[in-house]
Each structure stands twice: as structure tokens, then as C-alpha cells.
Amino acid sequence: MFQNIVSLSHHIIKEKVHKGDHVLDATVGKGNDTLLLSQLVEDEGSVYGFDLQAEAIGITQKRLNTESNYKNTKLFQADHSQLDKYLPADLELQFAIFNLGYLPSGDKEIITKAETTTMAIEAILPRLKKDGVLAIASYIGHPGGMEEFLKVQLLVESLDQKRYNVGMFQFLNQKNNPPRLFIIERR
């Protein structure tokens, strides 16, 4: 459960996401989270996925076609800071997730950026349902990673305690700058 950021975030996903929920993967990447979300919300729910890179959208669409049992996912090759243009205006989210940084085994020059990341977070927060969670895995080892981490931290630590439970999980005994996980739970 606490082996790495993926095992922890997938534990939280399984705890929070159920059949019929509406959820968002703000950084589709290779589709690991998208696929898990698709399986959990089933036909009654919906998954929205964003990624700037055609490669990520292509890989993930292929995985959904072959590995998911449900046709419940809409992928957009678009900037997640623009998500309000793509999501139904009244869509409330039970769960949303970011994996910041670059596409694993992709072009490491193409990274998420503090400015658009914080815009996307601010667009997601008002859509969270009660007890819904926004999880943000923040990688700090690459150039620009620490800057993005600090800007996200500044944003989320200012959220009203009466409306959101905001916490962070970090590994203490791992080398090579392990990622940190922000968890924002709507009260």
C-alpha cells in the first residue's frame, strides 16, 4: 500500500471511486490511471481524460479499446487548464488525478508547467463532490519539477479548512527525489 506513489494513489482511487461516478484524469500519460478509473465507474459512470501529447492519447485509447470492459471514457488532446471548455458545465467530480512531470519514456522536454497546472486545479476544485478527492502526484527530480511542486503547495495550503481537507504524503527513506502526493478532499 505504501510501496510507491502509484500503489498509494491506486489505493485511494479504489477507496473513493465506484460504479456510476464521474471522474477526471488530468494527465492521461500511458493510461494507467485512466484504465483503472474506466473499470471502476462502469457503464453508469464517465471518465474524462486530458493530455497535450498525441502519443499519450493514442496509447491510452488503444489500451481502453482492448483492456477496458466499458465504453465510458472521453479523451481530449488538449491543455487541462482549458478543461471547462470540454466538460459539461454541471459535471460534478467524485475524483480527479494529476501525475505531473513528463510522459514516462517520452520526450522529457515536454513537461507539465506550474501555471497551467494551477489553472487546472482551480478549475477542478469547485467541481468536487462532497467526500470527493483531487490527488496530485508531484515529481520534483526533473528541471522545473520543484518549482511546480512549490506553486501547487502554495495554492493548496491556502484552501479553506472548512471546505477542503488538504494533506501531503511523502516518502522519507527513498533516494532520488521520490514524488510527493497532494490529497485534497472536499468536505
Point out which residues bind its own copies (CB under 8 A).
1-3, 11, 15-16, 131, 133, 153, 156-161, 164-175, 182-183, 185, 187
Q: 107 or 165, CB closer to its own copies?
A: 165
Q: How far is the CB of 70 from its own copies (least distance, A)?
A: 26
**CB under 8 Å to 55, separation ≥6 — which residues?**
103, 106
CB 98 within 8 A of CB 79: no
Q: Which residues pair with 183 in a beta bridge?
A: 135, 167
CB 166 within 8 A of CB 176: no
DSSP 8-state code for residue 104? T
Q: How far is the CB of 98 from its own copies (least distance, A)?
A: 16
Q: 50 or 182, CB closer to its own copies?
A: 182
Residue 183 phi/psi, 5-degree rounding, is: -130, 120
The grid coordinates listed for 137 are 502526484
> 49: helix, coil or strand?
strand
Q: 45 or 179, CB closer to its own copies?
A: 179
Q: How far is the CB of 168 from its own copies (least distance, A)?
A: 6
Q: How far is the CB of 84 from its own copies (least distance, A)?
A: 24
Q: 5 or 35, CB closer to its own copies?
A: 5
Q: Which residues pair with 134 in a beta bridge?
A: 96, 184
Q: How far is the CB of 53 from its own copies (least distance, A)?
A: 30
Q: 1 or 54, CB closer to its own copies?
A: 1
